[in-house]
Structure 1
Amino acid sequence: MLCTIPPLVVAGAAMATLMTKMASRGQTAYAEASVVVEQTIGAIRTVASFTGEKLAVKKYSKSLKSAYKASCQEGLAAGLGLGAVMCIMFLGYSLGIWYGAKLILDKGYTGGKVINVIFAVLTASFSLGQASPCISAFAAGRAAGFKMFETINRKPEIDAYDTTGKKLDDIRGDIELKDVYFSYPARPDEHIFTGFSLSIPSGTTLALVGQSGSGKSTVISLIERFYDPHSGEVLIDGINLKEFQLRWIRGKIGLVSQEPVLFASTIRENIAYGKQDATLEEIRAATELANASKFIDKMPQGL
């Protein structure tokens, strides 16, 4: 009867492997559906102004169809796998009873010994069979865990928490982009800059003007070092940006994006977000420079 255990293990392993793949596909499909919902709700005014509700529902339904298909395949794999496990288990029962009867007739074994062996093996195989329904949970957890640990173990090329690099005592603020070649990772064939050069002396007010997609925001992204150029250099005070400690140099740059973001906290915490040790005097000075101090003081809780 021990010969039935290897087929049980093989059937369970095959079921677990198939279900892990199906669970991973299902999670990917659900993730795509959640992205559609998040984008639609986050930009609901834009969606409504262009009457794009039906299009958003159509995209969401398409993503759910993929998730439904993956779930059906996962259920099919679970059903076939469980059926195979139970089939092997009951075949083992019949084999044990037949062979036990043969041993009693031919070898003189007692019925008690045969029954003890049969029940011992049947209990072991039954335990394995009871574990098989849990394989679906193990498979889903394994698929989710793989993606989670893949993200955790990923080492970014640009690490904001890297403590190595230069920290200057004083910084003037001369900025220069020298012979820069760059394209975004998502569109490697579409070159934004090919040999682009730009010099901005300290204290200069500069406006970058151009059509959409010409690279205005990309210049800021390179100066903030959200990306590194494929070739060429981004220099601050004549020093390559890659040589600075990233956290320190970003702390020296003030950025107001096209779409300002307010976090769900106090006005004071929002203003001091880029400088955690900012004093109240520094925060008030910032509000006055931004011409925001008057309406902030009129609010019930102020800062």
Structure 2
Amino acid sequence: MQKHGVYHQLVTVQMLIEEDEDVNEDDIAEGEDMVPNGSPRKRTISENKQLKKSTSRQISKQISKPGAIDEEKDKEEEVETAPGAKFCPMLQENKPELPFILIGCMAAAVNGCTMPAFAIFFSEMIKVFMNNYSDSLLWSMMFLALGGVQFITNFLQSVCFGHSGERLTFRLRLKTFRAFMRQDMSYFDDPKHSTGALTTRLATDASQVKNATGIRIATMIQSLFGLVAALVIAFIYGWKLAFVVLAGVPLMALAGALQLRFVMGNHKKDNVDLEAAGKTASEAIENIRTVQSLTREPDFFHKYATSLNKPYRTNIKAAQLTGLTLGFSQGIVFMIYAGAFRFGAYMVTTGDMTPDNVFKVFFAISMTGIVIGQSSSFLPDYSKAATAGGLIFKTLDTIPLIDVFSKRGQYLSNISGRVQIRNVTFNYPMRPDVPVLKGINIDVEPGQTVH
């Protein structure tokens, strides 16, 4: 298309001929004169020839103006953007599934406390081995009970948040499609609202929103309750050691902040590159006859592969940087282990702590590191969900001047059916230099049909 060669001319002619066929039919119908007996007077052969010549000249002019096509193509490269949706509006959309969310949140809260409880059970089990296996059956059964609790809580939170997320996706897709149907023609005339962009939004954006209100909420609640339980255990059994271990928490928070900033900054660019690939595929499929007649299949395949190569490289770099930050956040935990064991040994030698209490504090704080790591996995999905939610809410808030679904307005009880149109001019907002109607005048009497 950029070289304005044979493919460019064939595609342009194909599009113009399809449009002009419709225009010719309208012109022929408009040119038919009504005679008193109601039968139309057909155009003469010379008039039809003149119309074909006019159409041919119009096609030639359009082909000879590559600058206009380039300008149109530049407009098509535009991608619609919207501010990221806030968490509360997205959660508000999930309000009908509130019972599922509440049950899932309670299950996640209990599930979050199981890992700190594991720290106590494990420490007591070590104490059992040190005391000639006394109470071994009791603490073994405690581990068995803990496994049962985790099975029930994980099942409940997965089922509940899964149901709420899928119902939200179903409802958002229906609302988005309904919002598309209510828009006027100028909305679809905008290059940012191309067929590929709208269908992609309908297919993927709705499913991404559930990542902010579905199973990931369970992870956040599980992490929060696990953190609180771990800190309570640590301060009960050894507040001095707890303060030493908590000195490394700011480093883990820094790693999580770096990861969040990086993910949020690259997601929008990823969407732009993927939409460009979608437009290439849409162009090739829509004009497949022309593509095959010119054997341009390898060219379009190469162009599509090139469009995918850019986000591929970006995501490869993102994976490396994400791995670096994730490795730092996880590696710092073992560095905290080293400091905790050294200080714990010192506390045991001074008689301020017993060995089993050192293990309780140590494993409780290590569970804190684990839940922080789980929380960081929430960030990529949430950034995508916020971007997708912003686009969906922008579509839902776009209300045209003539809303076909609106019940407001004046309902006429007595309609005669006589229509008069005087000096009507019209052009689409995205093409102000192309007039569609040029001062049209129409009189339609009751019972008359306009072709």
Pick the TM interval, shorter chain: 0.5 to 0.7
In the TM superposition, residue 20 of structure 1 has moved relative to its aligned partner by 3.8
Q: Does 1:164 align with 2:408?
A: yes
Q: 1:57 to 1:158 in 2, by over 3 A?
A: farther
Are the counterparts in 1 of residues 444 and 450 from structure 2 also a CA contact under 8 Å?
A: no
Does structure 2 retain, via aligned residues, the 8 Å contact 1:30–1:63? Answer: yes
Question: Could you tell me which amino acid in structure 2 is paired with residue 198 of structure 1?
Answer: G
1:174 aligns with 2:420: yes
CA distance in 1, matches of 2:342, 2:288: 70
Structure 1 stretches lacking a partner, 5+ long = 205-252, 256-303
Q: Which stretch of structure 1 is more off in the superposition, 9-18 or 89-98?
A: 9-18
1:192 corresponds to which residue? 434
User: Which amino acid in the other structure matches residue 336 of structure 2?
Assistant: G
Do the aligned partners of residues 141 and 183 (structure 1) sit closer, same or farther apart at CA in structure 2, a change above 3 Å counting?
closer
Q: Deviations over 1:237-279 (max 9, x none)?
A: xxxxxxxxxxxxxxxx999xxxxxxxxxxxxxxxxxxxxxxxx
Counterparts of 1:133-282 in structure 2 under 5 Å?
Answer: 133=377, 135-168=379-412, 169-178=415-424, 180=425, 182=427, 184-185=429-430, 191-193=433-435, 198-203=439-444
2:279 to 35, 51, 55: 35
Identical-pair percentage: 24
Structure 2 CA distance, aligned partners of 1:89 and 1:175?
77
CA RMSD of aligned residues (A): 3.4
CA contact (8 A) 2:426 2:438 kept: no
Contact 2:421 2:441 in 1 (8 A): yes
Counterpart amino acid of 1:27? N
Instruction: Return the TM-score normalized by structure 2.
Output: 0.38
> 1:151-193, CA deviations, whole angstroms, 9 ceiling, x for partnerless residues?
3344445533233334542342322345x585633x6xx6335
- Match among 326, 335, 347 for residue 82 of structure 1: 326
Q: Counterpart of 2:248 in 1: which secondary structure?
A: helix
Larger helix proportion, structure 1 or 2?
2
Check the 8 A contact 2:274/2:311 in 1, yes or no.
yes
CA contact (8 A) 2:427 2:434 kept: yes
Correspondence for 1:277: none
TM-score by length of 1: 0.54
Query: Counterpart of 1:99 in structure 2: which amino acid?
Result: F
- Check the 8 A contact 2:423/2:439 in 1, yes or no: yes
Counterpart amino acid of residue 191 in structure 1 = D
Choose the corresponding residue for 1:108, options 349, 352, 357.
352
Q: Give the AA of the match of 1:126.
A: I
Superposition deviation, residue 45 in structure 1 = 0.9
Which residue number in structure 1 is paired with residue 255 of structure 2? 11
Change (3 A) 1:46 1:123: same
CA distance in 1, matches of 2:295, 2:268: 34
Question: Shift in Å at residue 90 of structure 1?
Answer: 1.8
Preserved CA contact (<8 Å) 2:256 2:325: yes
- Which secondary structure state, in structure 2, belongs to the residue aligned with residue 78 of structure 1? helix
The answer for the alignment partner of 1:26 in structure 2 is: 270
Equivalent-residue separation in structure 1 for 2:299 and 2:401 (angstroms): 37
Where do 4+ consecutive residues of structure 1 move more than 6 Å? none
Q: Distance in 2 between matches of 1:158 and 1:6?
A: 55
Distance 1:171 1:69 in 2: 63
Quickly say closer, same or farther: Cα 1:108–1:133, change in 2 above 3 A. same
Does the C-alpha gap of structure 1 residues 157 and 52 become closer, same or farther in structure 2, counting only changes over 3 Å?
A: farther
User: How many Å apart are 1:33 and its aligned residue?
Assistant: 1.5
Any conservation in 2 of the 1:26–1:67 contact (CA below 8 Å)? yes
Shift of the 137–44 alpha-carbon distance from structure 1 to 2, 3 Å rule, reads same
8 Å contact from structure 1 (residues 96, 118) kept in 2: yes
Offset at residue 144 of structure 1 (A): 3.5
For the pair 1:126 / 2:370, whether they are aligned, the reply is yes
Deviation at 1:133, TM superposition (A): 4.3
**Alpha carbons of 1:130 and 1:3: their partners in 2 closer, same or farther (altered >3 Å)?**
same
Q: In the aligned structure 2, how far is the partner of 1:76 from the partner of 1:173?
A: 67
Structure 2: runs of 5 or more not aligned: 1-244
In the alignment, the residues of structure 1 paired with residue 429 and residue 255 of structure 2 have an alpha-carbon distance, to the nearest angstrom, of 46
Number of aligned residue pairs: give it: 202
Q: What CA distance in whole angstroms lies between the structure 1 residues aligned with 2:396 and 2:346? A: 59
**Contact 1:47-1:53 at 8 Å conserved across structures:** yes
Task: Please name the residue that 1:68 is paired with.
Answer: 312
Mapped to 2, the partners of 1:129 and 1:121 lie a distance apart of 13
CA drift at 1:44: 0.7
Structure 1 residues 27 and 35: CA distance shift in structure 2, 3 A: same
